[in-house]
Amino acid sequence: MTRTKVAIIGSGNIGTDLMIKVMRLSRTLEMGAFVGIDPESDGLKRAERLGVPITAEGVDGLVAMPGFAEIEIVFDATSAGAHQHHNAVLQAHGKRVIDLTPAAIGPYTIPPVNGEAHLDAPNVNMVTCGGQATIPIVAAINRVARVHYGEIVASIASKSAGPGTRANIDEFTETTSQAIMDVGGATRGKAIIVLNPAEPPLIMRDTVYCLCEDGDRDAIRASIEAMVAEVQTYVPGYRLKQAVQFESIGDNQPLRIPEMAETGRTEFTGLKVTVFLEVEGAAHYLPAYAGNLDIMTSAALRTAEKIAARMHEGAAA
């Protein structure tokens, strides 16, 4: 079977983990190039040892590589600011782009929620690690009971956050908040990220709060559990930390939510659903505490495989 050649721009934690996943796990993708800007980075040195063609000249170096024409899909694991330029260059050469930064040039993509919706788009955005972990839960609740407000708190080990992640903190919150609405289905969304400096580093933890219409609690619980099982098909370390919690909010003590002011509804009554998640990484590059890396790169890998299948189906037709 002919494999689709891919390139990865960004030799940091995310790019290196993704490279290892492509080489170890994918039956349909093949590494065509690994790109960075620091020739001394561990990622570039590791790629060279693994026999992957490398360049330390960024996207311009990628374009100049002998095998560039054979590369069909390019992952960008750099920063939101850099992605603007990278995407422009790659689109000019007709490449399909999977964006692992919060730049959000292309449509948001969460595999178990809308993974089939944008396979023909020239650029797809993988939101953020917190978004990949929590938006499936918002969507799972929303398909049973309308979610008016969704708030997520993502706590990741400080050691798992490289320079690119740290440079994108503001974009992280903005992109995730928007995707909670656009993909998760909430009327309003809010995202908070915590870089936890604890030693030893803690596994990624995520909390999802949803204020929704009162609904069948068993149906909501079943929907959440089904979504968790679906995410586990590509992120085995994704799991509920404890049972789903429910709280009725009556009109005798409504919640006041300033973020809902523009919708004309600042007082909320209904059902509050709280979900606690843990994401343990597969330790392909960083240790298991870096579940944030694992869920992001796993989602990107699954998306790339689906795009590649669609491209080849179209070519065969």
Name the residue among 127, 297, 280, 103 with its Cα closest to residue 206.
280
Q: Which residues are catalytic?
A: 129
Q: What is the mean pLDDT of residues 26-50?
A: 97
120-137 pLDDT tens trace: 999 999 999 999 999 999
Q: What pLDDT is stored for residue 71 in this prediction?
A: 98
Residue with tokens 């870096």: 290
Fold of 4-126+294-316: Rossmann fold (3.40.50)
The dihedral sign for the CA sequence 232, 141, 119, 124: negative
Is residue 7 a contact partner of residue 32, using CB atoms and an 8 Å limit?
Answer: yes
Mean pLDDT of the chain: 95
At residue 93, does pLDDT exceed 70? yes
Which neighbouring-strand residues pair with 205? Answer: 155, 278
Superfamily of domain 129-287: Dihydrodipicolinate Reductase; domain 2 (3.30.360.10)
User: Per-domain residue ranges for the chain?
Assistant: 4-126+294-316, 129-287
CA distance 13 to 63: 23
Query: Per-residue DSSP letters for 152-166?
Result: EEEEEEGGG--HHHH
User: What CA–CA distance (Å, rounded) separates 14 from 36?
Assistant: 12
Instruction: Copy the structure tokens of residue 61.
Output: 């170096």
Give the tokens for residue 166. 């740290």
The pLDDT of residue 260 is 77
